[in-house]
Structure 1
Amino acid sequence: MVCYSCLRSVIIHAGQFGFIRTGHKGKYSVGRQFNKFPGFLNVNSSTKYTSWGNRFTTIRKMMVDTGSTAKHEPELDALPQKDDNGGYSSGGWKSEDGRLSCGYSSFRGKRASMEDCYDIKTSKIEGETVFLFGIFDGHGGSRASEYLKEHLFENLTKHPEFLKNTKLAISETYQQTDKEFLESEKDTFRDDGSTASTAVLVGNHLYVANVGDSRTIISKNGKAIPLSEDHKPNRSDERKRIENAGGVVMWAGTWRVGGVLAMSRAFGNRMLKQFVVAEPEIKEQEINEDLELLVLASDGLWDVVPNEDAVLISQREEKPEAAARKLTETAFTRGSADNITCIVVKFHHEKTPQPEGSQQQ
């Protein structure tokens, strides 16, 4: 049995602290004092995006992380985070061995502030080359998503079991990084949160981990296959988990945890942490010639672009950078009102040469 008077007092209390506001990416439902507190990302609302194309800025800068440990060769951060005005950034990158190439695109869109972050890294650990891709969609501010960009992959590659038991390392790193973020914010009035959808390639194994409603899909033989399932409060298993922990899922324009948050798992969100966990769901996929491409994106894309469309659009573009830009543009023109960020990874498999005189089947 739920005490609704207690629940009401919790929601009102949260609104007084300003971390909830109406219409904020559909994630929070109430509140009115959000902008009174310091530390939020404020963007000049006078900036106008009158033309889609002339605001694109292609960025191809490579940055070396000099803080790597002795067992790690320097990590390559394949992209800067934002362009000069924080509105749009895109670029591309290809691995040294030619095994894969990727493109990324991130657009503030119709929103006044940018709360999406993304990360692409490659590192050599004990002789093994690994690739890491991540989408982090913030809500209530950009602090949580920025923290994940700065720390999640760094923490993961330093985990002692990263190569031996990658799933365990991912699960423990996600939850430990969540604790560290909450500790770093304990003396503030903020209560930011963020999704995380990541893809990690170790050898010929792909590990996709997800918290929240960002999403990762793959294309195998032209078929779109989701490797993550959105964490929505009305998912039957998520609703059961929340209610078993003493929480409640309520309708407030959409299904929300405690009538407040429109996702059931996230980093941060201290006030709802008992119910909104950062434990990732992880899926493993073997990389073979059937695996053609990988798409990671925030819900600003998935709200208006179905999985099948994302694959078709990505396949039509030869370069993943062009595919990422096209996906972002498509989501915007289809009416997405959110920040839109995506990463497209294309796999380049070596073709076995045919013997002379043999016929193609």
Structure 2
Amino acid sequence: MAAILHKMKEKVCLGSSDDSETAKGKSKITHGYHLVKGKSNHPMEDYFVAEFKQVEDNELGLFAIYDGHMSQQVPNYLRSHLFQNILNEPNFWTEPEISMKRAYRITDNTILDKASELGKGGSTAVTAILINGRKLLVANVGDSRAVLCKNGVAKQLSVDHEPIKEKEDIQNRGGFVLTYPGDVPRVDGKLAVARAFGDKTLKEHLSSEPDIAVEIIDDEAEFIILASDGIWKVMTNQEAVDCIKEMKDAKTGAKQLTQEALNRMSRDDISCIIVKF
């Protein structure tokens, strides 16, 4: 069992506070990551995956940011299981969007079933699968974000699932959206995202249905940023792209973007992955 766990840790990059790394796939596409714990009193709740993996004749780049709330266990579970569930879908290669939605749903149901073990907290997620350096599949729930840079221009590929935007759906499920003075809108006055994994006590009023984007990586694509809201709370998509567009390599870009968020007084956990084409 120890040998198996060691191999799993080698295959999947495991995130921790103040961590950074860079790696390269066969297609010579590089990636780097950097994480910094926020100013809050709770432990670091961001986890990530960043790896290249050979599946038969295909090279897959697997990248994800999991931003936990009131939980380390749920994002850690996602890190270990979500991509596995996606790639185990029998129709992934022919119906990737349907397969990803199904895998998200299955994973969320399992997390809810394991609430006694994983706790009542939850996690957002943004995942990206790069197939043979050419086709990019992005899925997300919550407010972690994927932003593509094409010819210096930022293009958001994910959807911020804000309670105020999904107020009608939340109300139709029996919930409500409440905004306290000086605060952001929250589901049932508690959670600042309308979609998430876990959160068993709020689940009747939440969704775990991902939004999915498909992008062909052409010569105009320069890099993609995957990051938790510790970055997006303090800068726009274009500001993030402009911050690192002259980066030397992906690892340097990830560290530079994280530092800029800190300079702008971000207090949340910060995690980001840069994939450089």
Report how many aligned residue pairs link the two structures: 268
For residues 150-205 of structure 1, the C-alpha deviation after alignment (integer angstroms, 9 at most, x for no partner) is 111111112111211111111111111011111122367x3110000011112421
Matched, 1:104 2:29: no
Shift of 1:141: 1.8
Q: Is there any run of 5+ residues in structure 2 with no aligned partner, and where?
A: 1-5
Separation of aligned partners in 2, 1:126 and 1:296: 26
Q: CA RMSD in A?
A: 1.6
Report which of the two has the higher share of helix.
2
- Spell out the pairing of 1:209-358 with structure 2 (5 A cutoff): 209-235=139-165, 238-252=166-180, 253-347=183-277
Equivalent residue, structure 2, for 1:81 = 15
In the TM superposition, 1:52-91 aligns within 5 A as 64-65=7-8, 76-77=11-12, 79-82=13-16, 87-91=17-21
1:122 aligns with 2:122: no
Choose from 105, 108, 121 the match for 1:192. Answer: 121
In the TM superposition, residue 273 of structure 1 has moved relative to its aligned partner by: 0.7
User: Which residue type is aligned with residue 276 of structure 1?
Assistant: L
Q: After TM superposition, what 4+ stretches of structure 1 lie above 4 angstroms from structure 2?
A: none
Q: Distance in 2 between matches of 1:129 and 1:95?
A: 8
Whether the aligned pair in 2 keeps the contact of 1:118 and 1:135 (CA below 8 Å) is: yes
Task: Measure, in 2, the Cα distance between the counterparts of 1:337 and 1:282.
Answer: 29
* SS in structure 1 of the partner of residue 254 of structure 2: helix
Secondary structure (helix, strand or coil) at the match of 2:82 reads: helix
2:98 partner SS: helix
SS state of the match for residue 316, structure 1?
A: coil
Q: Secondary structure at the match of 2:245?
A: helix
- Choose from 70, 87, 101 the match for 1:171: 101
Structure label with greater radius of gyration = 1
Cα distance in 2 between the residues matched to 1:163 and 1:121 = 19
Residue number in structure 2 paired with 1:181: 111
Give the conservation status (yes or no) of the 8 Å contact 2:115–2:200.
Answer: no
Match of 2:3 in 1: none
- Asked if 1 retains the 8 angstrom alpha-carbon contact of 2:14 and 2:48, the reply is no
Q: Secondary structure at the match of 2:126?
A: strand
Are the counterparts in 1 of residues 22 and 250 from structure 2 also a CA contact under 8 Å? yes
The structure where strand makes up a greater share of residues is: 2
**Compared CA separation, residues 187 and 214, structure 1 to 2 (3 A):** closer
Question: What are the superposed Cα offsets for residues 199-254 of structure 1, whole Å, 9 maximum, x if unpaired?
Answer: 1112421111010011100011110010012111011xx11211122221111222
Unaligned 5+ runs, structure 1: 1-62, 67-74, 348-361
Quick one: distance in 2 between partners of 1:94 and 1:210?
A: 24
Question: How big is the shift at 1:64?
Answer: 4.1
- How far, CA to CA, are the matches of 1:314 and 1:285 in structure 2? 21
Post-superposition CA distance 1:106-160 (Å, at most 9, x none): 0003223200011113222231111110000000121111111111111111211
Structure 1 CA distance for aligned equivalents of residues 78 and 215 of structure 2: 24
> Percent identity of the aligned residues?
37
Instruction: State the shift of 1:275 in Å.
Output: 1.6
1:291 positional shift: 1.0
* Relative contact order higher in (CA < 8 Å, ≥ 6 apart): 2
CA contact (8 A) 2:14 2:47 kept: no
- Verify the 8 A CA contact 1:133 1:199 in the aligned structure 2: yes
| Equivalent residue number for residue 144 of structure 1 | 74
Residue type at the aligned position of 1:331: A
TM-score (norm 1): 0.71
